Amino acid sequence: MSTAKIDNPISHPPPVAPPDLLALYRARRTFMQRMEAFITRLSTRNNFWQKVCSMIWLPYAFHSGIRMKRLDSRRFTAVLPFRRFNRNFYNAMAGAALLGNSEIAGGMYLLAECGSDYIVVCKEMKYRFLRPCFGPAVYHVVDSEDIHSKLAAGDEFNIKLDLEIQQRLKKKGRDLRVGRCEITFHCTPKARLAERSDRRRKQ
C-alpha cells in the first residue's frame, strides 16, 4: 500500500520580517497612501498646519485650541487655552476638556516621534483630577518608555506615557499641578496593516 503526499492548498507565506516590511510597503504605496503620509507629516510640522488638519479631521481639537510646542529634542508640551469652549458652568476648565485633550496631547507627541509610517491609537487611559483649573492647561510628557528602541525594532508595539497637567499662572512662579494622566497607546506600522490586508485577500 503506497501513500502519496498531499500539498496543503491553503498554505500562505509567513509574515515579512520588520526590517524588510517598510521598504516593501514604500515601494508599493498607492497615490492615496502617499498623500496620507504627506498630510500626516504636514500636520506635525507647525501649529498652522496642525490647526488646518484638525479643522478637517479632528474638529474637537480645532475648537479646543490645543497646540503643540516642542522645547527641544527630548521635551514636549501641549497648551490648552482657557477659552469658553473648554470651560464649564463654574467657569473652570471642564473635566471632559482636560481628559479628552490628554489623548490628543499624547497622540500628537507620539505622531511626531513615529512619523507618517505609523498609526497611533489610544488603548487605555487613567486620569486623576487633583484640583480645579482656572487658567490655560499645559501638558508635559514627564515619563515615557524608550520609544526609539521600539521604533528601531520596526514592528507594532504598546507604549505607556505619563502626562502631568499644570495650570499656567499669570504671575511668575511655579505652575499649579491640576492633574496627572497615565495613558497607553498602540502603534502599528502602516506596512504591517497593508501586509495583513494582502494576506486576507489571498485566503
pLDDT of residue 22: 67
pLDDT tens-digit map of 60-94:
888 899 988 776 656 678 999 999 999 999 999 99
- SS3 helix, strand, coil % of the chain, rounded to 5? 40, 30, 30
Residue 40 pLDDT exceeds 50: yes
* CA 185 to chain CA centroid, nearest Å: 7
Would residue 85 count as lying in a domain?
Answer: yes
Would residue 18 count as lying in a domain?
Answer: no
Would residue 62 count as lying in a domain?
Answer: yes
- Total domains in the chain come to 1
Residue 162 pLDDT exceeds 90: yes
Would residue 13 count as lying in a domain?
Answer: no
Residue 12 pLDDT exceeds 70: no
Would residue 9 count as lying in a domain?
Answer: no
Would residue 92 count as lying in a domain?
Answer: yes
pLDDT of residue 173: 63
pLDDT of residue 69: 76
pTM (predicted TM-score) = 0.78
Q: Assign residue 159 the CATH number of its domain.
A: 3.10.129.10
Domain span at residue 137?
30-202
Q: Pick the closest to residue 126 from 183, 178, 164, 179 (CA basis).
A: 183
Q: Average pLDDT for residues 44-73, to the nearest whole number?
A: 80
Would residue 180 count as lying in a domain?
Answer: yes
Residue 112's identity, in one-letter code, is: A
pLDDT tens-digit map of 84-135:
999 999 999 999 999 999 999 999 888 888 888 888 999 999 999 999 999 9
pLDDT tens-digit map of 13-32:
455 556 666 666 766 777 88
Which residue did the predictor score with more confidence, 164 or 193?
164
Residue 10's identity, in one-letter code, is: I
Q: Average pLDDT for residues 165-189, to the nearest whole number?
A: 87
Helix ranges, the chain (H):
18-27, 31-43, 47-57, 59-64, 95-114, 147-153, 190-202
Gap between the Cα atoms of 146 and 152, Å rounded: 10
